[in-house]
Amino acid sequence: CDTATILRAGRKIATCNPRTETAASLARMMVGTAIADVRPAPGRRTTVPRLVVNDLSLASEDPHGVRLKHISLELKGGEILGIAGVAGNGQDELFAALSGERLLKEPGTIVIDGVACGHLSITERRKLGAAFVPEERLGHAAAPRMKLSENALLTGHAAGGMVKHGFVDIQATLRTVDRATDAFDVRKAKRDPEAASLSGGNLQKFVVGREILRNPAVLVVNQPTWGVDAGAAAVIRQALLDLSASGCAVLVTSQDLDELIEISDRIAVMFHGKLSAPLARAEATREKLGLLMGGSGLQHDDAELREAAHAARA
């Protein structure tokens, strides 16, 4: 482009030549402030895994989905495991299995803080200290026409504090909204609006904040900064690092390699429902990750190879 116009909050901020600007200067104009650097905090790492997946295989409910094949992983407290991969390689199916949206026949396939829970619902897994942030924020993570306080109740009631003697503590739900608003700079027109009234970035900050403020033992988050501005992305990434430093085991699925390299301790790759062995961040170069994302280094059966070849020709 020869010229670029910057809009913020419905107002024209500037018109510039993008060739003479840097990514940082453009981001500053879009957000209104300088984007803070994301910094890992010194933390504590447990020796015992807080999330364990044992040989998870699961057919997709979606006819166009991907079958999970023999996925195993261990994630300790104080550690962030990043999962990279092109969309549609089993990330959604893995999230459904980890969160309890899909129940498993063998309880020991998923273990949270030493408790076999593959057969337990998402509510029961939340009671074990797990928290979940799906990719689709409006409709999956938050009910569009419900207030933020009601959305906080939907996921927070399992952990206690919002329901007393069978009655909803409205003030407790509002306090959760206030805490998320303050901690994550959620911008909204009033104290407790409907979820659909927030911008995508502000709703994402609320959803992530709602889960993090529960101080979970395990957090599973799918595409944490998808579709949000640079400022909101920095806030969310820093929050994930801080949560990990507190001893939480954090699993992050993202298509953004820069994001994963910035915040992860180890990075694995999903391809056709299989998970590669994780690489330490120092070894996880873009070249290595790119090869894994293309299927190099993973064993495939003949049907998978034919499917990959067909997709490449399409």
How far the first Cα of the chain sits from its last, in Å, is 31
Cα separation, 115 vs 47, in Å, equals 16
Q: With respect to residue 40, please indicate whether it lies within any of the assigned structural domains.
A: no
Same domain membership, residue 146 and residue 97: yes
Count CB neighbours of 291 within 10 A: 15
Same domain membership, residue 305 and residue 233: yes
Please compute Rg for the chain using Cα positions.
20
Same domain membership, residue 27 and residue 75: no
Cα separation, 86 vs 223, in Å, equals 12
**pLDDT one digit per residue (tens) for the chain, 314 residues:** 888 998 876 788 889 888 888 877 877 777 676 556 677 666 667 788 999 999 999 999 999 999 999 999 999 999 999 999 999 999 999 999 999 999 999 999 999 999 999 999 999 999 999 999 999 999 999 999 999 999 999 999 887 789 988 899 999 999 999 999 999 999 999 999 999 999 999 999 999 999 999 999 999 999 999 988 888 899 999 999 999 999 999 999 999 999 999 999 999 999 999 999 999 999 999 999 999 999 887 765 545 555 555 544 54
Which residue range(s) make up the domain with 269?
Answer: 49-313
Three-class SS of 216-274? CCEEEEECCCCCCCHHHHHHHHHHHHHHHHCCCEEEEECCCHHHHHHHCCEEEEEECCE
Three-state DSSP class for residue 221: strand
Count CB neighbours of 144 within 10 A: 14
Same domain membership, residue 24 and residue 80: no
Give the number of domains in the chain.
Answer: 2
Same domain membership, residue 242 and residue 293: yes
- 8 Å CB contact between 213 and 51: no
Q: With respect to residue 253, please indicate whether it lies within any of the assigned structural domains.
A: yes
Same domain membership, residue 128 and residue 16: no
Same domain membership, residue 148 and residue 89: yes
